[in-house]
Amino acid sequence: MSIFSKIAEGEIPSYKCAENEEFYAFLDINPLVKGHTLVIPRREVDYIFDLEDDELARYQVFAKKVAKAIKAAFPCIKVAQVVLGLEVPHAHIHLIPMQSEKDVNFSNEKLSLPAEEMQAIADKIYAEFCK
């Protein structure tokens, strides 16, 4: 089982931002900015473009709802969507609230936020997602 499957199953703790039967969203453990969220399919697929067309469409619609929740919780110019997948072999979309293009430079130093702050960020996004 991939580390992200274990997260979606609750075997490894995460800061949950949104979920439904097929998809799960949680804070990146080393965010580029506050609100940096990962969205995954519960089904274990490494490469996003190996998802079936209809599943990919539902995944994107779910990510859109999460992005809107992030923007409501953390006002920003836009929420950037990035797919890399070089580190973890389980498809994931990065959603990053952006004040400028510098915020989506993956070479930037990552943040390491206290657990209480991570929880507060996730709770804020989750509350917006559930509205």
- Rounded to whole angstroms, the Cα distance separating 21 from 122 reads 19
Please tell me whether residue 84 binds ligand 5GP under the rule CB under 6 A: yes
Residue 19: count of CB within 10 angstroms of its CB:
17
One residue of 21, 49, 75, 86 binding ligand 5GP per CB under 6 A? 86
Residue 32 CA: distances (Å) to CA of 6, 10, 20, 88, 116: 23, 24, 25, 17, 18
Q: Are 37 and 45 in contact (CB under 8 A)?
A: no
> Binding to ligand 5GP (CB under 6 A): which residues in 10-69?
14, 26-30, 38
Least spacing, CB of residue 13 vs ligand 5GP, in Å: 9
Q: Which is nearer to ligand 5GP, 51 or 88 (CB)?
A: 88
Give the DSSP letter of residue 83.
-
Q: Which is nearer to ligand 5GP, 54 or 122 (CB)?
A: 122
Count of positions on this chain that bind ligand 5GP (CB under 6 A): 14
- Rounded to whole angstroms, the Cα distance separating 75 from 94 reads 17
Beta bridge partners of 23: 41
Please tell me whether residue 1 binds ligand 5GP under the rule CB under 6 A: no
Rg of the chain, C-alpha, whole Å: 14
User: Which span sits near ligand 5GP by CB under 6 A: 54-62, 65-73, 87-95, 120-128?
Assistant: 87-95
User: Is 92 labeled as catalytic in the residue annotation?
Assistant: yes
**Which stretches of the chain bind ligand 5GP, using CB under 6 A?**
3, 14, 26-30, 38, 84-88, 92
- What residues are labeled active site? 92
